[in-house]
Amino acid sequence: MKSYRYKNLLIYSSLQSVGHVEDYFVEHTEKLVVFIVMPRPKSTFNIIRLYGKGTLVNERNMWSSENFVLYYLTWYLTYLYIIFRYFSPHERFIVFSGQIFSFFGMSVQKIFRRVDFAYWLGDYFPPNTWTLRVYEWAKKFYHDRIRWTCYLSDRENKILNGICINNKNKKTVMWGVKPKGIIRRSPSGTRLTFLFVGLVRPSQGLELIFQYLKHHPKCRIKIIGICDNEALFQRYKAMIKNLGIVAQVYFPNKFFSDHELTEISLDCHIGVAPYHLGPTHAEYYGDPGKVKTYAELGLPIIISNTTAIIPYIRRFHSGEIIQRNVKDVERAVSSIRRNYSSYIKGLSQFNKFFSYESYYRNKFSFLENYS
């Protein structure tokens, strides 16, 4: 009979398995409940999945809304529904979450359920508005009161603790990847297709790629993600039209499953992450999921000189680091074209280092033997 590393867990996930956290815990948890909160744009439902000993037992949709207030209210109410519906008063379980909603009323939750909490902090938002100041204060408040805390980067680790800590209870845990055979691609002639994946925000820097495409009519980009608001999508549509690159841009502004994303990526050559630079942007502090996605898909990465993943891209020679100007994009593309096979080799090494099975087993040892 198979033994399981973890007894009872509630985790958050998404339909695009960035980091493969759900995959990992499904395989190694006796009882696992997964709460999938859909992005607010075009949101109509969230998803609850119940797994028992690696098998999906039940999946159900829970109503959600694009309305700002209703979106977050239904999120929290669904979370409460989960802990009271899916766990009995006698079960000990851990809520392993990166969402502060999970920690509202922790002491009250503990009265009615034998629950403990682990916090995996994701993005850090520089508190340059009053709303962000409140949000980061709340993160710090719960961080200081929760037994186990993980961080997506050493930068965030240091901000929350004053120094970078890596011990049993506090440690940096970046996204894992699922190593698989890399599809062999090679840019032919002057034709080349970029891939961009993820929620589209102004700080993602897509304008830089649009400017590059204007000067390179045989190059294209596929943007697989949803704008965080309709106004931004309309602004990008107008920009694409004004630059005369409509035929070079595939931008349906919709969500795609992992399988669909893999199919879409087959004729792409380079993954792009042209973020805005500097510590005033949230991307500076994180481990962007799109970079790990590009690595899994076997796409060399072009990324601006920010985010905490940069040292690993340099270390494994899995992409090119750029400054945010068209000439540097041209330099990076030229380098990848000339040495495509060496970047593919670097991606293989990158993926081996972050292989989620071994990487998470080491990092999540604190969750073992909790029952």
pLDDT tens profile 145-169: 999 999 999 999 999 999 999 999 9
Tens of each residue's pLDDT in the chain, 371 residues: 778 999 999 999 877 667 899 999 999 999 999 999 987 766 788 999 999 999 999 999 999 988 889 999 999 999 999 999 999 999 999 999 999 989 999 999 999 999 999 999 988 888 888 888 998 899 999 999 999 999 999 999 999 999 999 999 999 999 999 987 777 777 766 789 999 998 888 888 899 999 999 999 999 999 998 887 889 999 999 999 999 999 999 999 988 888 898 899 999 999 999 988 788 878 888 898 899 999 999 999 999 998 889 999 999 999 999 988 999 999 999 999 999 999 999 999 999 999 999 999 999 999 987 65
Domains 6-178+355-366 and 192-353 share a fold: yes
The structure tokens listed for 186 are 């090679």
Domain ranges of the chain: 6-178+355-366, 192-353
pLDDT at position 258 is 82
Note the pLDDT of residue 354. 96
Structure tokens at 306: 């920010």
List 148's β-bridge partners, or say none: 118
Rounded distance between C-alpha atoms, residue 282 and residue 169, angstroms = 25
Smallest CA-to-CA distance from 173 within 197, 202, 153, 143 is with 153
- With a threshold of 0.75, does the pTM exceed it? yes
- Give backbone dihedrals phi and psi of 71, rounded to 5 degrees, phi first: -55, -50
Return the CA Rg of the chain: 21
What is the DSSP-derived secondary structure letter of residue 112? H
Residues in the chain: 371
* pLDDT of amino acid 106: 94
CB 158 within 8 A of CB 147: no
Where in the chain does DSSP place strands (E)?
6-13, 29-36, 45-52, 55-63, 92-97, 114-121, 148-151, 170-172, 192-197, 219-224, 249-250, 270-273, 301-304, 319-322
Q: Which 8-state DSSP code applies to residue 37?
A: P
8-state DSSP, 203 = G
CB 221 within 8 A of CB 207: no
The helix/strand/coil state of 105 is: coil
The closest of 226, 5, 1, 225 to 96, measured between CA atoms, is: 5
What's the mean pLDDT when you consider all of the chain? 91
Instruction: Give pLDDT, residue 42.
Output: 66
pLDDT for 250-273, tens place per residue?
A: 999 988 888 898 899 999 999 999
CATH value of 192-353 in 3.30.420.40, 3.40.50.2000, 3.40.50.300, 3.40.50.880: 3.40.50.2000
User: Is 6-178+355-366 a domain of CATH 3.40.50.2000?
Assistant: yes
For residue 27, give the amino acid letter.
E
